[in-house]
Structure 1
């Protein structure tokens, strides 16, 4: 909904004012912070549905701040906005727990579209959805939790959305474009490797040493989540 509260953490006054004016005009409730100090406390109360986070702040590195937000247990959506556009830097931001990553300069229309996609995916309220079970993997769509073989999977909001999307279509090979559309909301190929990056993140958490693979790559086709051979779904 457009009354969602967003926190913009940006030390460039012109960019901050531009974002504040544009997002407020779209109906969002927007607060500003020009530094990292105090952001953790502001996010901790759960009043913000998204943080738009600059990477280079006067008193903090955005990636470090992102890690701290996630370490504190917050699932608030994080859009990282930065002038750093090298692939390694994007992967670092996503690896720290950011849900999306945009580089400056940017088109406001694209930023707005990405914000809307992320907010559609963010938890909003209880919806009665059945638990999804694939082998020893259990996903609770209401509580936004996942377990494998009884152990909790510590997933970010984006990782959960991807796992849920794959598990709800278990044994079906899904193309990269289908995943982009289903999880990130893209109706086009943005020429990003975000799918591959998040598949790798999921595998590290879902498939620990000694456990059978659940997520499989079908070269030239996409990805499929299926239960291990011989496993019962119950």
Structure 2
């Protein structure tokens, strides 16, 4: 049996983990679409800026990005709280990966769909909203589901910048009683799974909903 004295601290850490996850997902989702659409822009300057963002954040370590935002930015006169730095690093990093999901999904929609909507005299905005994006979402969701789970697990890195998330609280408990390491980390594994599984179910529900009536 797991001793109840472990649960209060781990529960507090889980709440912090969920807070970071939700905020980071919001940032990542927004950046995914902004950068994804920007990479399809007809303007070369917009494509260049979005490409630089994507390549920099995909090509460098998330831990280094986190440290840079929290420890290096203050040297330039910009101080972020641990929460802001964690959310920014996770959002920017996973937003870069998500933008490629958005871009490739839009490009995967058959050209005939675009041509048919042009023949119906739809504006570019209406064409994207009513024809292309609903079909692209079906393609995007499985990849977004994987990214969401990865982001949740990636929040454990914020413990490195002193945020009292689930992993951080587990390490604190272990320093007080190393003999209970198996118990502590076993419980942490279980709590991460309990947080991740509903997210998986929600993404599967969204996949079914967007796929309804489509082949």
Instruction: Calculate the TM-score normalised by the size of structure 1.
Output: 0.25
Could you say which structure has the higher strand fraction?
1
TM-score by length of 2: 0.26
Looking at secondary structure, tell me which structure has more helix per residue.
2
The one of the two structures with greater contact order (alpha-carbon pairs below 8 A, sep at least 6) is 2
Greater Rg by CA: 2
